[in-house]
A and B are shown apart, each in its own frame.
Chain A
Amino acid sequence: MGESQPDLEMFYQRYLYGLLDGDRAGCQRIVQELLDRDISLKDLYYHILQRALYDVGDLWEQNKISVAREHMATAMTEHLLTMVYPRIFSIPRCGRRAVVSCIANEFHQLGAKMVADILELHGWDAFFLGSNTPVSDLVSMVREKRPDLVCLSLSIQFNLPALLTTLDHLGKAFPDLPVIVGGQAFRWGGSERIADYPAARYASSIYVLEEMVMAW
């Protein structure tokens, strides 16, 4: 899109206010307008959708908005993502597959879903398993889909032991299968534990993940 940054900033501010107001139709109009202007999907994801969610999360952490409002913003974003899918899924395939999932007891799925979409943007077939996926389900899905990569998302830090257990299971069942882990939980540390798992790597941000994917 030939959109200059100030224009994008203006769209972003309107979008954020709409999200905080629960104005789903308004946000939908903004996303549609951006799509009509042929915004690059990466710009839409990084500079509008993801940025807004981070800002909403910060506002909640500062007690400026309620958790209900934060949930509403997340739910609205989930809905708005569906507007982008026809474009994402029509990108030519590169023949690589990934399974993307949240681990058991992780109920925040949006970050993982965005990871799946970023992979799709690069032509991967990304199978998204959703929130709260038991290890056994994850392992059987990997067995079925035979992916080139597994991506795991962790948003709550006290679920770190569960993530490590999951990595243990995956490592035993598929020793050579690369795994990328990431998520908001690592803001408070813990990424060094991933080094204990030879096939696993930590992606500190969606940009890093994208670099890893592009270098594949």
Chain B
Amino acid sequence: MVNSQILRDTVLAAYLMDCSSLIILRLDVQGTVREASSYARSVLGENVTGMFFTDLLVDFRKTFDLAQFRSELAPRLLSFLTPGGMPQTFRVSYLPCGKDGFMVGEHNAEEFEQVQSSMLKLNQEMANISRELQQANAEYRRINEQKNQFLGMAAHDLRNPIGSIISYMALLLEDGDGLSPDVVNILKDVSSLADFMLYLVNSLLDYSIIEQGRLVIEYNWTDFGLLAAHTVAVNRLMAQRKGIRLECTPVDVGQVYCDIHKVKQVINNFLSNAIKFSPRNSVITLRLVYDPAHVRLEVADQGPGIPQGEQERLFKPFGRTSVKASEGEESTGLGLAISRRIVESHGGTIGVESELGQGSLFWFELPRRKADV
């Protein structure tokens, strides 16, 4: 009977020490670990034997009293340091056994389950939110495409009637003998407004084409210096009306592989903006800088400058700033956004350097040869 009980206890003890998921540590009177279960060694490290029990614990406030714990015999939650660095918490009981005693730590299965199900619930919620977000994004993309299509159609359909208004105005002003000076002035105002409307409609059309991903770059080898000089000449009349001097030193920068019309549109945009925002009798300078691989065009004005915090907005659609045109000239808010897309489609970069009261310098840089965009 006694033998069979010893045998049973031995079998059970061997199972608990070798196979169970229990932290079992035999401590001597000083609190040194003399023996450790297989699971304890896997969690706390193979060299746990010989260490002081208190050194195994995460005890930030140094409140753990081994002697008191041994005397109270009440289970307690203790967090152990692990070689992986992640502390693990066990519900630990002390079982006295002669001079020595056993520390037995077990996982709290109920807590484990709760944490697991909370994590699963959180994961589900996160995945659902992610789904809704992507669904909403797709919807916004669709709406945006519809908006661009509408914009394109509206701009396209408006272009012809505005063109007719401009033609009729020109005819009236040409053959308008006998019209009073007041009427002529009104007709000139209407004509100028119609010009602006056409410009606005064309910008909207350009923008919608770009936004729909239909911007086509038609590459040709182009004399870049000549292109810049020609665009300056076109803008000179508008500058002269405000007494502004447009300076451009002719430079032979050689050939650049680009879309001549679209790059001209960008230079035009830089120059017309500079004229709009510059005070009367100031100077605008166009400069070309180049190296064997790139060409850079800069337009510097003596305008009011752009506040630092507003500069990023400039190249976004309708990204207006607090700076006003010097004589109330109108603008669409699309020119620089279109310019950015054109330059980037060439594999180039675009930017501005400006300080309040110090004028602005708009620049763009293109690779001489076609870049992989």
Complex contact A85–B134 (CB within 8 A): yes
Contact present for B120 and A128 (CB under 8 Å)? no
B135: interface (CB < 8 Å): yes
Q: Chain A residues near B139 (CB, 8 Å)?
A: 89
When each residue 58-69 of chain A gets 1 if its CB lies under 8 Å from chain B and 0 otherwise, what string results? 000000000010
Q: How would residues 128 to 142 of chain B score, 1 for a CB under 8 Å from any chain A CB and 0 otherwise?
A: 101110110111011
Known: A86-B134, A128-B131, A130-B128. A93 touches B142 (CB 8 A): yes
C-alpha spacing A82/B132, complex, angstroms: 10
Min CB distance B116 to A, Å, is 7
CB neighbors of B among A71-97 (8 A): 71, 74-75, 78-79, 81-82, 85-86, 89-90, 93
Q: Which residues of A contact B127 (CB under 8 A)?
A: 78-79, 81-82, 113
* Sampled A-B contacts (20; CB under 8 Å): A71-B116, A71-B120, A74-B120, A75-B119, A75-B124, A78-B124, A78-B127, A79-B123, A79-B127, A82-B130, A85-B134, A85-B135, A86-B138, A89-B134, A89-B138, A113-B128, A128-B128, A128-B131, A130-B128, A131-B124
Among B131, B135, B137, which residue has the most Cβ atoms of chain A within 10 A? Answer: B131
Size range of the chain A interface in the assembly: 20 to 34
Within 8 A of B (CB), among A4-61: none
Task: Report whether A113 and B116 are in contact in the complex, using a CB–CB cutoff of 8 Å.
Answer: no
Within 8 A of B (CB), among A139-188: none
Cβ B138 vs Cβ A90 within 8 A: yes
B122 closest partner in A (C-beta)? A75
Task: Provide the residues of chain B in CB contact with A74, threshold 8 Å.
Answer: 120
Contact assessment for B120 and A75 in the assembled complex, using a CB-CB cutoff below 8 Å:
yes
In the complex, what's the smallest C-beta–C-beta distance from B161 to chain A, in angstroms? Answer: 33
* Assembled-state Cα–Cα distance A85/B141 (Å): 14
Q: A93-B142, A109-B124 are in contact. List 5 more A-B contacts (CB 8 A).
A: A75-B123, A81-B127, A90-B141, A128-B131, A130-B124
Separation in Å of the A53 CB from the closest CB of chain B?
Answer: 14
Q: Is the CB of B123 within 8 A of A82?
A: no
Q: Are B131 and A113 within 8 A (Cβ)?
A: yes
Given contacts A71-B116, A71-B120, A79-B123, contact A85 B128 (CB under 8 A): no
Interfacial chain B residues near A89, Cβ < 8 Å? 134-135, 137-139
Chain B residue at minimum C-beta to C-beta distance from A120: B135
* CB pair B142 A85 closer than 8 Å: no
Whole-angstrom distance between the Cβ of A210 and the nearest chain B Cβ: 19
* Chain B residues with CB under 8 A of A107: 121
Q: Smallest CB–CB gap between B107 and chain A, Å?
A: 12
Q: How far is the CA of A78 from the CA of B137 in the complex (A)?
A: 19
Measured between alpha carbons, how far is A120 from B135 in the docked complex, in Å? 10
| CB-nearest residue of chain B to A79 | B127
Q: Nearest chain B CB to A138's CB is how many angstroms away?
A: 15
Most chain-A Cβ atoms within 10 A of its Cβ — which of B119, B135, B142? Answer: B135
Q: Contacts of B124 on A, CB cut-off 8 Å?
A: 75, 78, 109, 130-131
- Asked if A82 and B116 sit within 8 Å, CB to CB, the answer is no
Interface centre among B124, B137, B141 (most CB of A within 10 A): B124
Task: For the complex, give the distance between the alpha carbons of A81 and B135 in Å.
Answer: 13
Q: Which residue of A lies closest to B137 (CB)?
A: A89
What distance in Å separates the Cβ of A48 from its nearest Cβ neighbour in chain B?
A: 17
**Residues of chain A contacted by B134 (CB below 8 angstroms):** 82, 85-86, 89
Residues of the B chain whose Cβ atoms lie less than 8 Å from the Cβ of A82 = 127, 130-131, 134
Cα A120 to Cα B142 in complex, Å, equals 15
Q: In the bound complex, how far is the Cα of B132 from the Cα of A130, in angstroms?
A: 11
Chain B residue with Cβ nearest A91: B138
> Contacts A78-B123, A130-B124, A131-B124 given: A85-B130 contact, CB under 8 Å?
yes
Residue ID in chain A nearest B128 by CB atoms: A130
Q: Which of B88-130 contact A (CB under 8 A)?
A: 116, 119-121, 123-125, 127-128, 130
| B-side contacts of A109, CB under 8 Å | 124, 128
A126 to chain B: closest residue by CB: B135
Q: In the assembled complex, which residues on chain A have CB atoms less than 8 Å from the CB atom of B125?
A: 130
Please name the residue on chain A nearest to B136 by beta carbon: A89
Query: Could you tell me the distance between the alpha carbons of A79 and B131 in the complex, rounded to whole angstroms?
Result: 10
Nearest to B130 among chain A residues (CB) is: A82
Give complex CA distance A117, B142 in Å.
18
Given the complex of chains A and B, what is the CA–CA distance between A89 and B143 in angstroms?
Answer: 13
Q: How far is the CB of B308 from chain A (nearest CB, A)?
A: 36
Query: When chains A and B are docked, how far (Å) is the Cα of A128 from the Cα of B135?
Result: 11
Quote the shortest CB–CB distance from B134 to chain A (angstroms). Answer: 4
A82 to B134, CA, bound (A): 8
B131 → A minimal CB distance (Å): 6
Complex-state Cα separation, A131 to B135, whole angstroms: 18
Whether B116 contacts A68 by the Cβ 8 Å rule is yes
Q: How far is the CB of A50 from the nearest CB of chain B, in Å?
A: 16
CA distance A196 to B134 in the complex (A): 38
Give the chain A neighbours of B119 by CB distance below 8 A.
Answer: 75
List A contacts of B141 (CB < 8 A).
Answer: 90
Q: Min CB distance, B262 to chain A, in Å?
A: 29
